[in-house]
Amino acid sequence: MTRLTGRALRLTVFIGEHDTWHHKPLYSEIVHRAHTAGLAGASVFRGIEGFGASSLIHTTRLLSLSEDLPVAIVIVDTEERVRAFLPQLDELVTEGLVILDDCEVIRYIGRDDTARDPDTKGKKSS
């Protein structure tokens, strides 16, 4: 069972939803690499409006097929684990914003492996 409480570091990556890495969504590559790196978790949030360094406003209100709405990937883990992940972002994020915030985790308890495996659901381990 995964537990994380106390001081932590929040990593937030702001990119466009159409940003890609080897023909797949960049946000997906970041999430998969965070998972492979053993980070506590990663979530992707799609914005409804925003602008960045280009100063172009992207919004869901305009009828356009070329929307490139903002996407935020948020990862929270210990400072050491998050900082160890930063070199991967240097490789992946060529346009965007990467920020770090100190935070305090009040409660984070992950499921144990038996809760994820439908074959063992409801069975007690010996």
> Residue by residue, what is the 3-state secondary structure of the chain?
CCECCEEEEEEEEEEECCCEECCEEHHHHHHHHHHHCCCCCEEEEECCEECCCCCCCEECCCCCCCCCCEEEEEEEECHHHHHHHHHHHHHHCCCCEEEEEEEEECCCECCCHHHHCCCCCCCCCC
Residue 65: the pLDDT is: 52
Residue 54: the pLDDT is: 72
**Mean pLDDT, the chain, integer:** 83
pLDDT by residue (tens digit) across 74-125?
A: 999 999 999 999 999 999 999 999 999 999 998 877 666 554 455 544 444 4
Contact between residue 8 and residue 79 where contact means Cβ atoms under 8 Å apart? yes
pTM reported for the whole predicted model: 0.78
| pLDDT-based confidence at residue 72 (cuts at 50, 70, 90) | very high
Lowest mean pLDDT among 19-28, 52-61, 74-83, 93-102: 52-61
